[in-house]
Amino acid sequence: MRILVVGAGIIGAALADRLAGRDEVTLVEAEGPGAGTSGTSYAWINANDPADPSYHRFRTAAMSTWRDLAAGFGDPAWYRPAGNTIWADADDAKSRLADRVTRLAALGYAAEVIGPGRLRELEPHIRVPDDALIAHHADEGYVHGGPAARALAERARESGAVVVTGHRAVRLNTEGERVTGVRLDDGRDLDADLTICAAGWRSPALLATAGVVLPLVDPSEPGSDAPCLVATTSAAPGVVNGLVHAPGLSTRPAEDGGLVLEADDLDAGVDESASPALMDAVGAELLARARVLIPGLTAEVARVRRCVRPLPLDGYPLIGSQRPGLYTAVTHSGITLGPRLAVLIDQEIHGDASPELDAYRPDRADS
């Protein structure tokens, strides 16, 4: 089958890697692999929410697929199953955390409450109040999304995929109802038996060229949750070993030896044109919080980047065929889910049903 994958983020790159060799794959990327959301993502691989047991199972399976995928690359530096430490100090937050740990453990998920001694072994440099409740999840981890997407795209190319970078698909080509490929920004038409839209938060714009609607949060809407800011610091080697979720700050090691810093509450007011002043202010606040969490931290903010979450309106993945010749694969938590989605989509487009995907069809709101 001639398959055209639009977008080389974690989802498109994992798909191209999965399909190359068996299918005639072309991967089209407007910039470079990993240049979109995947390259700026906090990229925590997890199933740390027991609220929806079916979605929890889906994500747990995805964590396992990551382990298999990474093993195939021989312990790559971009896959770090380094565990997650999370703590709470306010009474209501402590009670929610304790409840979550109990429910996750009951589902067979690695979740435990730990004491200060164990915390010192895991994360010796972080400071936690004496009365905090601390949880640890040994099976969670993170990836460096940019390098991971590049490695997957490169392996797809080695397996025979054609990787076209620096060219945007400006429209879907159609014959009647059927999507027959894309037109690129240089006027070239690429034909395919199946076009897979994995263009992340930009997917609605591409799909709209064939009249297809995707229920994704519009990042340009005032007050949208999609745009956000993520900071990285200068080198801070060994300061944090895994993921650390403190009240008001999430952090983990960055790919170049610094720290990734993120806090959802600071994203209010971030829109399409986050001003340099806002970005500086958010960077300074993230660093101030990091210095409370990690006394003695000497690193400075190296970079603050604006990024956009591909947020489905109901929060769940949007996966499936929307027209003959067209398949869509867009989701938040795409880092956690990308490789698993690639396995299931591969199965499905080659004729074996993937019932695990049935809950996540893009047209579910209409049915």
Ligand X SMILES: Cc1cc2nc3c(=O)[nH]c(=O)nc-3n(C[C@H](O)[C@H](O)[C@H](O)COP(=O)(O)OP(=O)(O)OC[C@H]3O[C@@H](n4cnc5c(N)ncnc54)[C@H](O)[C@@H]3O)c2cc1C
Cα 151 to Cα 331: distance, rounded to the nearest angstrom:
21
Cα 26 to Cα 190: distance, rounded to the nearest angstrom:
9
H-helix or E-strand containing 199? none
Q: How far is the CB of 352 from ligand X (least distance, A)?
A: 23
* Of 12 and 253, CB closest to ligand X: 12
Q: Is 95 helix (H, G, I), strand (E, B) or coil?
A: helix
Nearest CA to 195 out of 8, 349, 350, 327 is that of 327
Cα 325 to Cα 320: distance, rounded to the nearest angstrom:
11
Q: How far is the CB of 113 from ligand X (least distance, A)?
A: 22
- The residue with its CB nearest to ligand X is 9
Residue 173 has phi, psi (to 5 degrees) of -90, 145
Q: Left (φ > 0), alpha (ψ -120 to 50) or beta: where does 121 sit?
A: alpha
* Of 136 and 168, CB closest to ligand X: 168
Pairing of strands 162-165, 24-29: parallel
Site residues (CB under 6 A) for ligand X? 6-12, 28-31, 35-38, 40-44, 145, 168-169, 198-200, 202, 206, 228, 230, 262, 307, 309-310, 330-336
* Of 130 and 357, CB closest to ligand X: 357
Cα 222 to Cα 269: distance, rounded to the nearest angstrom:
8
Q: Is 78 helix (H, G, I), strand (E, B) or coil?
A: coil
Cα 11 to Cα 23: distance, rounded to the nearest angstrom:
17
* Of 5 and 134, CB closest to ligand X: 5
